[in-house]
Amino acid sequence: MIKLDISNALTENLKKQHKRIGLYLDNIDQKGQGFYTVIDDENMVNEILKFTENVKGKYEDIVVLGIGGSALGTICLQQSLKHLYENELKMRTWPKLHVLDNIDPLLIKQIQDVINIEKTLFITISKSGGTPETLAQYSYFRSIVEKNNLDIKNHFVFITDAKKGFFRKVSNDENVVSFEVPENIGGRFSVLTPVGLLPAALIGLDIKKLLKGAKASRDLFYSDSIDKNFPFQIAAIQYLLGLEGKSMTVLMPYSQKLIRFADWYRQLLAESIGKAKDNNGNTVNVGLTPINALGVTDQHSQSQLYNEGPNDKFFIFIKVNNFGADEEIPMLNDNSAKYLKGVSFKKLMHTEQEGTIKALTKNGRPNIILTIDNVNEETIGELFMLFECATAFLGEFFNINTFDQPGVELSKNITKELLT
């Protein structure tokens, strides 16, 4: 279970804000979003597990073609729940996973140096089926599969809208296996649908545990008690501090496994809350700028700014009690690092995190600390749902549409116009 410490960020107005939890929850519910109900969908889980079982041993490489919300959750799942050098391990039980979330021509070319095309499954993910990057990637890799005289049906799977879009049509016309992104779930909220769960299952992750963790956070979200409702607490603090000029949120996990979680959250916060208009049509141009940082690495890159630069940031720290390893630091022969005597890497990591938090607090920089015991399927599921629900509350506080992305659509459309 996640623990939350907000004592370094308490704001006077938090109490006023929480009186309206019920109202905000009703407003969110009325929007009919599916990200917190899809986790009960047992058919979805069974279909994914059945497919995974059917293809067991068939593929050496899984390549995800997709971008934004179609890729970031999967990248996070791999980084946080597999070996940190998973794709370089010689002894393997599960296929290697590669997520192509860019169209840099070199990336497109060089991926081919590390995959065995005859034993590759391309999971093509696009909710809309109209994203130029994903269409281009699909077209390219499809032609390679065809040039190798391989059957498309054995090498492609689509995850897309149930009825609409290009990939739905190809799936229907050519009988290619497909999974659905529910209509009421947008890309950045879709990690706990086949978008994230299918690649996760194919690399051996326990998707039922992911969903179990997500349900635990949903229970918190449904609570009208401020003490239990962590998503509400996080969002309210973030919002109230935002009004006081802390317009940036730094998410800083102290865990190598969680750096891609911060990437995932960056999109969630930026695309959901950065909006020109409020729900009444007024121009508001609101947003909170997400910043990723990794402890301890970024202490030696960002800490100076965070401590002494503009006081415009709110910090969310993630502390992990057990890293899954606790290597001792052997003593050096001279006395120059006596303070390391008897200290393990775990202890050093925790102490540096404490030092960073204390320094920021001393400098009046508001921060909260989320603590988990271990990084595993359940806690990752909890974290995904916690931040999704917090983001939904934030949208209510700002009175904006959390779930659209007109700015992204505009640039997609301009790109298409420029190319025609």
Position 69 contacts ligand PA5 (CB under 6 A): yes
408 scored as a contact of ligand PA5 (CB under 6 A):
yes
The catalytic residue among 300, 327, 338, 417 is: 300
Task: Choose, by CB under 6 A, the member of 67, 211, 250, 372 that binds ligand PA5.
Answer: 67
Does 350 participate in catalysis according to the annotation?
no
Using CB under 6 A, which of 17, 74, 126, 299 touches ligand PA5? 126
Q: Among 128, 217, 233, 299, indicate the residue that binds ligand PA5 (CB under 6 A).
A: 128
Which residues are CB-contacts of 30 (< 8 A; sequence separation ≥ 6)? none
Kind and range of the H or E run holding 157 = strand 156-161
Indicate whether 134 belongs to the interface with ligand PA5 (CB under 6 A): yes
> How far apart (Å, rounded) are the C-alpha atoms in residues 259 and 288?
19
Task: State the Rg of the chain over Cα.
Answer: 22
Judged by CB under 6 A, the residue of 11, 17, 70, 229 near ligand PA5 is 70
Q: Which of 270, 263, 298, 267 has the alpha carbon at shortest distance from 286? A: 270
Q: 356, 303 in Cβ contact below 8 A? A: yes
Catalytic residue among 127, 246, 257, 271: 271
Query: Is residue 127 involved in binding ligand PA5 (CB under 6 A)?
Result: yes
Shortest Å distance, C-beta 264 to ligand PA5: 11
Secondary structure of residue 123 in the 3-state scheme: strand
Please, are residues 8 and 357 in contact by the beta-carbon 8 Å criterion?
A: yes
Q: Under the criterion CB under 6 A, does residue 101 sit at the interface with ligand PA5?
A: no
Residue closer to ligand PA5 (CB basis): 263 or 271: 271
Q: Is 300 a catalytic residue?
A: yes
Q: Is 271 a catalytic residue?
A: yes
187 binds ligand PA5 per the rule CB under 6 A? yes
CB 35 within 8 A of CB 192: yes
User: Are the C-beta atoms of residues 207 and 191 closer than 8 Å to each other?
Assistant: no
Show the tokens assigned to 330. 């052997």
Pairwise CA distance, residues 413 & 62, whole Å: 30
Parallel/antiparallel/unpaired status of strands 289-292 and 283-286: unpaired
Task: Return the residue of 271, 382, 388, 396 that touches ligand PA5, per CB under 6 A.
Answer: 271
Q: Does residue number 233 form part of the binding site for ligand PA5 (CB under 6 A)?
A: no
Q: Which is nearer to ligand PA5, 126 or 353 (CB)?
A: 126
Write the CA distances from 117 to 52, 75, 94, 298, integer angstroms. Answer: 19, 21, 16, 38
Question: CB of 398: closest distance to ligand PA5 in angstroms?
Answer: 17
| Residue 255 binds ligand PA5, judged by CB under 6 A | no
Binding site for ligand PA5 (CB under 6 A): 67-70, 126-128, 131, 134, 186-188, 271, 405, 408
Catalytic residue list: 271, 300, 412
